[in-house]
Amino acid sequence: MFWTRLASGIVLAVLALITMGLGGIPLLAVLLLISLVAYRELSKALQIHTEQDNAGFNALEIAGYFGIVCYYASVYFADTDTVKFMVMICGVMAILCVYVVTFPRFHAGQVTAACFSLVYAPVMLSFIYMTREYSNGDGGHMVWPILISSWGCDTCAYVVGKLIGKHKIFPKLSPKKSLEGCIGGVLGAALIGGLYGYFFVEQVVLQQKVAGLIAFICAAGAVMSMVGDLAASAIKRNHNIKDYGKIIPGHGGVMDRFDSMIVTAPMIYLLTFVLIK
């Protein structure tokens, strides 16, 4: 299991480096695919997709997929954030239309879950692309703190937790997570971010002092990455499932591997927009 997980992790890291490095259509296409799979996984976990649907898709799911595709088209083609926001709202409206037209086929809880699933992974993951393309492509260097804050924090937290972790911070939600590990993850992400800012962004890209800001951004992103990880775990515990899927050997589903990045991406985009000029 360890070697399978390691091999899958290496492949994912390479793919992330390639697509985030390329940006543009390749990155957007990969994010769209990940978002569609994540929506499918959440549909099963939150029981939007039920046993009576078998391997097919019900109308509520189809409305969600349609909303995701339209939203990603708006992310690429729209000139303003207002258009993107309105397309997202139209996706929610499509789900509500299905609810009304097919009543009483679906329960209110399923409709709420479908709207939540539309925003939770697909919309929030799109901020990876928007960060990469920020300011006509000049924000490309700020897409890497998303990886640093999520996967970097996760690695540092794991190592510190294994070495000195004693105080359990969320015993009911995540028994293996320790206070020491969480602190180590945040500090580790800040350190990696600061080094990245100093040796690459300052020297190569911007020629101005931003290492401290990037370290802060990575630390804030690391905090949110743990929130994302724990939120995804809470959903699994609420619905008594071990993994969201089996698509990634050794890791589970897309939601199991990208849970922290989902929440980190919007935070990095926001702080980049506010702090990095």
Look at the block and give the residue holding tokens 């009911």.
Answer: 172
Residue-wise pLDDT for 15-55, tens only, equals 888 998 888 999 999 999 999 999 999 999 999 987 777 66
* Res 137: pLDDT: 55
The overall pTM is greater than 0.85: yes
Q: Which pLDDT belongs to residue 262? A: 94
Q: What is the model's pLDDT at position 134? A: 81
CB atoms within 10 A of CB 107: 14
Report residue 203: phi and psi, to 5°: -85, -35
- Is the torsion defined by CA of 241, 243, 245, 250 positive or negative? negative
Q: Residue 241: is it exposed, middle or buried by C-beta count within 10 angstroms (0-12/13-18/19+)?
A: middle
Please tell me the chain's helix, strand, coil percentages from 3-state DSSP, rounded to the nearest 5.
Answer: 80, 0, 20
Which amino acid is it at 231? A
Sign of CA dihedral 192, 230, 95, 47: positive
| pLDDT score of 3 | 63
Query: Which stretches in the chain have pLDDT values below 50?
Result: none
Q: Please tell me the predicted confidence (pLDDT) of residue 92.
A: 96
CA max distance for the chain:
61
Q: Which residue has the tokens 């993951």?
A: 125
Cα torsion through 217, 220, 222, 225, rounded to 10: -120
What confidence tens digit (pLDDT) does each residue in 9-19 have? 788 888 888 99
pLDDT at 139: 66
Is residue 78 within 8 A of residue 103, CB to CB? The reply is no
Hey, is 138 helix, strand or coil? helix
